[in-house]
Structure 1
């Protein structure tokens, strides 16, 4: 999740840990794609070519380990967070604000995002389709 802070740019939830990282989420994703011998841009182009998904495309970070992520907004939007479907238990609408979602992870942690649940569920379905196509 992006954060406006002087000491770090991103908050990462990994397992039971909350990490504060100096890189942006996009910088991290690009670096992770390069570790798997491809660029973010190349992965994005492959997803569009194979699936037809052009906007807010899910990104296969590691094909072998089946690590995929999807954006909550346009990746160019500074408020864009990236979610990893393998860790998501559920996405529900926030009963207090229909423009927000409650993401519950498999470890029981929940976060609130400023994106409607219908959009995030669509992103989950797109990512599942992407996983199917690349498997």
Structure 2
């Protein structure tokens, strides 16, 4: 485990986890490395969003505008690199961990409030969140990926009506 002063989120980033240590506030897991830093996760996210071209507030507002994902909003860090990170809890919650959408291969429930996340490089991490809540965050991230990182146009206008009787012949 290496100590770093500033972290640049990149395609090898897997997760940023709260690290309950008096000095090193964040644990960062990459495909081949693990780091700790004095920087808090929110500071890392803020700085990286600016480094990739927009403030975290602007990115969050754009996502809310397009999706109405107001709570536990995933953050698109870079459209070019397709870097989307999502929180497991409200970012104000001290147990909030952040996972990179593109790194997740499989999620398995452990119990009512815990899941195992298997990454594409076979790293296994435990998340202190329900299976359904984690799937919802992955789904939100997939929608954000489709809207912002592909040329695909998605229209959300459809109408659901009550059951209609089948016409008789």
TM-score tier (shorter): over 0.9
Q: Which runs of 4+ in 1 moved over 3 A?
A: none
Please say if 1:42 is aligned against 2:58. Answer: yes
- TM-score, length of structure 1 as denominator length: 0.94
- Unaligned runs of 5+ residues in structure 1 are none
CA RMSD of aligned residues (A): 1.0
Between structure 1 and structure 2, the one with the greater Rg is 2
> Which structure shows the higher helix fraction?
1
Name which of 106, 111, 125 aligns with 2:120.
106
Measured after TM superposition, the shift of residue 67 of structure 1 is 0.5
Structure 2 partner of 1:19? 35
Write the distance in 2 (CA, Å) between the matches of 1:98 and 1:69. 23
Structure 1 partner of 2:73? 57
Measured after TM superposition, the shift of residue 6 of structure 1 is 2.0
Write the distance in 1 (CA, Å) between the matches of 2:40 and 2:119. 22
Measured after TM superposition, the shift of residue 76 of structure 1 is 1.3
Write the distance in 1 (CA, Å) between the matches of 2:63 and 2:18. 24
Q: Highest relative contact order (Cα 8 Å, sep 6+), 1 or 2?
A: 1
Measured after TM superposition, the shift of residue 113 of structure 1 is 1.4
Measured after TM superposition, the shift of residue 16 of structure 1 is 2.4
- TM-score, length of structure 2 as denominator length: 0.76
| Aligned length in residues | 133
Write the distance in 1 (CA, Å) between the matches of 2:124 and 2:69. 28
